[in-house]
Amino acid sequence: VHRLAYTDVEAEARRLLLDWAYARGYTAALDDIGNMFIRRPGGDAAAAPVLSGSHMDSQPKGGKYDGIYGVLAAFEVLEALDDAGIRTKRPIEVAVWAAEEGGSRYLQGCMGSQVYVDPGKLESMQRNVDAQGVSVADAVRAFRAKLPDLPKRALNAPVSHFIEGHIEQGPILQATGNTIGVVTGIQGARYFQVDVVGDAAHAGTTPPSQRKDAVKAAAAMITALHQMMQDDSDVVRFTIGHLDVTPNAMAVVPGQVGFTIDFRHPDEAFLTRMGDLFQAVCDEHAGPCSVKVTQVRRGALIKFEGLVPDTIHDASTRLGYRTMRIMSGAGHDARYLAGVCPTGMIFVPCDKGISHNEVEAATPADLAAGARVLAEVLVALAQS
């Protein structure tokens, strides 16, 4: 799957879902950052809705389940309630958060849910530009033009609860033989952009003593950073996943290198202490180049406690599924919704924990079990 945030491919996927939604008589809306909401009415139209969903955008060459599963499981619940003739007090809405994987196009992830809970972030997010110089503002404008039938939805509209279904993207559920993961929280994460600046020069004529080779410097920094992050306890999640070189030509001594750091850990103090060293370590290995380390996002460690995870756990055990409580190593939009309403997540296993990879796989039985638990939870919360 290659369905990057705000692309025509994502718009097509949303159009397909809308066709299904309209066939059921549901209504839909789009907000200023591209979040989409599909609404199944409740008995009390004025009541804040229960939201459930995830994201439809993917990583480059991503898997078939990351994000889209949570959207389709929520939609499946709406249809099942119709078919079962179940009415709820609160409306239930399928939330499609924009640019959860936005980091792969804009170096900024979870843009939709971040702006939804904090509209003050809209302007700065709109200014993000991709490698082709297309701003988020322009991308959303083009995206909205593909979905002209959608009325505008206000940012930060009231939500009573949010539940996200997702594949675990880790090996624990499968390894322990559990079908349902009741997610207890999401580990903290810090994301950085590192810009190394040297001088572009002729590969054939420039003597080593006069070179400011940005790739040579970046390579030394990357090696030093990975050495610093060496962790025999296997807990650290340190990734340099994106690297671009300018002008990126065989016969040119590279003048600039940009690379990203995705750094996650369950201990917030460790994230702070080690992440704050990155600038100094890069400076140490910059040679004749200069280097700037900029933190582009910090996702705080959050816990899912109380009503929503307990309702998930009760529903799952009542349905007879093997269930365990589990922390999330991956980031999700639920990290941000947790700041505005009672929130929780339902994990289902994925094969060998592989994700952000085309071979990502999950079984129909496990996916259905997650949707089944989600149905119980949404009905319980929508009656509250």
The residues of the shown chain that bind ligand HGY, judged by CB under 6 A, are 100-101, 109, 330-331
Q: How far is the CB of 109 from ligand HGY (least distance, A)?
A: 6
Q: Quick one: 51 or 330, whose CB is closer to ligand HGY?
A: 330
Kindly tell me which of 66 and 213 has the beta carbon lying closer to Mn ion.
66
CB of 213 or CB of 333, closer to ligand HGY: 333
331 makes contact, choosing from ligand HGY, Mn ion, none, with CB < 5 to 8 Å by partner type, with ligand HGY
57 binds, among Mn ion, ligand HGY, none (CB under 5 to 8 A by kind): none
Q: How far is the CB of 111 from ligand HGY (least distance, A)?
A: 12
**Contact positions vs Mn ion (CB under 5 A):** 66-67
Q: Which is nearer to Mn ion, 34 or 67 (CB)?
A: 67
Residue 31 binds which of ligand HGY, Mn ion, none (CB < 5-8 A, kind-dependent): none
User: Are 95 and 40 in contact, with CB atoms under 8 Å apart?
Assistant: no
Residue of 124, 116, 120, 105 lying closest to 35 (CA atoms): 116
Question: Could you tell me the smallest distance in angstroms from the CB atom of residue 101 to ligand HGY?
Answer: 5
Cα 76 to its chain centre, rounded Å, is 21
Cβ 150 to Mn ion shortest distance, Å: 23
Q: What is the dihedral of CA 154, 157, 161, 162, to 10 degrees?
A: 30
Query: 14 or 55: whose CB is closer to ligand HGY?
Result: 55
Considering the complex, what minimum distance in angstroms separates the CB of residue 70 from Mn ion? 8
Task: State the distance between the two ends of the chain, measured CA to CA, in whole angstroms.
Answer: 38
Helix axes 364-382, 307-318, angle to 10 degrees: 130
Q: Are strands 302-303 and 180-186 parallel, antiparallel or unpaired?
A: antiparallel
Both tokens of 331, joined, read 């980031």
Q: Report yes or no: 165 and 69 within 8 Å, Cβ to Cβ.
A: yes
- Nearest to ligand HGY of 81, 330 (CB atom): 330
Question: Taking CB within 5 to 8 Å according to partner kind, which of Mn ion, ligand HGY, none is near residue 109?
Answer: ligand HGY
DSSP string of 312-325?
HHHHHHHTT--EEE
* CB of residue 205 to ligand HGY, shortest distance in Å: 43
Closer Cβ to ligand HGY, 294 or 357, answer by number: 357
Give the distance between the most distant pair of CA atoms in the chain: 78
Sequence letter at residue 268: E
DSSP symbol at 150: P
Q: In angstroms, rounded to a whole number, what is the distance separating the alpha carbons of residues 306 and 327?
A: 15
Q: What is the closest distance, in whole angstroms, from the C-beta atom of residue 68 to Mn ion in the complex?
A: 9
Q: Which does 49 bind (CB under 5 to 8 A by kind): Mn ion, ligand HGY, none?
A: none
